[in-house]
Amino acid sequence: MVQFVGFLLLTFGAAFASYSSYNNQRAEEESHWSYDDQNDWPELCNSGTRQSPIDIRTPSIEQSHFSPFIFSGYSERFFADVTNTGHTVRINLRNDSKVPTVEEGGLPGTYALDSVHFHWNSEHTINGRRYPAELHAVHYDVKYGNVDNAITHENGVAVFAILFEISSEDNENFNPIMPVIDEVDDTVGMTARTDQRFSPNIFFPRDTSGYYRYIGSLTTPDCNEGVIWTIFRNVLRISESQVSYFTNIQSETGLLTENYRTLQAVNNRPVYENISPLPKIHQRLVY
């Protein structure tokens, strides 16, 4: 039954939105590696010197004063496609016209939101502490047109990472998404659409002024380097029962009970902590 519904959704997607079929194709391409064989990931994943994720050690951090982020379009409301890639749950906004963009915050250009996905447990750790989940909002420099082109350029991709802490209450902002994860969790490559619109600012903490910054890589093959990482100091909250939507995802080899890459060497890379120079009232720029 789930597969039949999936067939209908895929057919609908192919007929009405080339964006969906592009996502399905991308999910297919991603499917031939696993978290169980990280030593067998392609060359750069093992030979690279600027890999992610890392443990952020705050005692040895350098302070910086980047200008505040300017987020545009993150409070607009979108439907979204939710895909089980076999390695994560990926969310693509159905944004035919306006793509949310972000600039400043030490970024060398204007970056458009490509997609959001999740890791459980977190990939980055702070002073050795691993969080129950981590969200990655993947952005590309608009001058490169799309994320696949941007990743071949230094600073072409900027990923915003948000860590989660467990709370006893559900995070209701995720209500439009969780039931859709349930629709795709059994089938690798399956995509379903939210039946409610939501704003991508649900993926960000309210206060985005404090964050860690370093240059690293994608945390999945091919582990391309030159990625600008921003890890917000403020966390989002999620309940245990919401995390269980993630841990019910099926991969090609069974239940995807966790999907984080092992920590990588920092190798003398500078890691910055942004301290905002502005008073609090100017810092709530996502909303």
Q: Which residues make up the interface to Zn ion (CB under 5 A)?
A: 136
Structure tokens at 171: 């995070």
Residue among 13 and 53 whose Cβ is closer to Zn ion: 53
Residue 219: CB minimum distance to Zn ion, A: 5
Residue among 26 and 136 whose Cβ is closer to Zn ion: 136
Residue 133: CB minimum distance to Zn ion, A: 11
Residue 126 and residue 233: Cα distance in Å, rounded?
Answer: 10
Residue 221: CB minimum distance to Zn ion, A: 12
Query: CA distances (Å), 91 to each of 88, 132, 268, in order?
Result: 10, 19, 34
Residue 283: CB minimum distance to Zn ion, A: 26
Residue among 136 and 139 whose Cβ is closer to Zn ion: 136
Residue among 50 and 136 whose Cβ is closer to Zn ion: 136
- CB of 101 closer than 8 Å to CB of 112: yes
Residue 173 and residue 178: Cα distance in Å, rounded?
Answer: 10
Question: Within 13 A of 237's CA, how many CA atoms are on the CB side?
Answer: 8
Question: Angle 123-127-129 (CA atoms, 0-180°, nearest 5)?
Answer: 50
| Closest residue to Zn ion in the complex (CB) | 136
In terms of phi and psi (left: phi > 0; alpha: psi -120 to 50; beta: otherwise), the region of 204 is beta
Residue among 85 and 208 whose Cβ is closer to Zn ion: 85
Residue 135: CB minimum distance to Zn ion, A: 8
Structure tokens at 26: 């991308």
Residue that the structure tokens 């994608």 belong to: 218
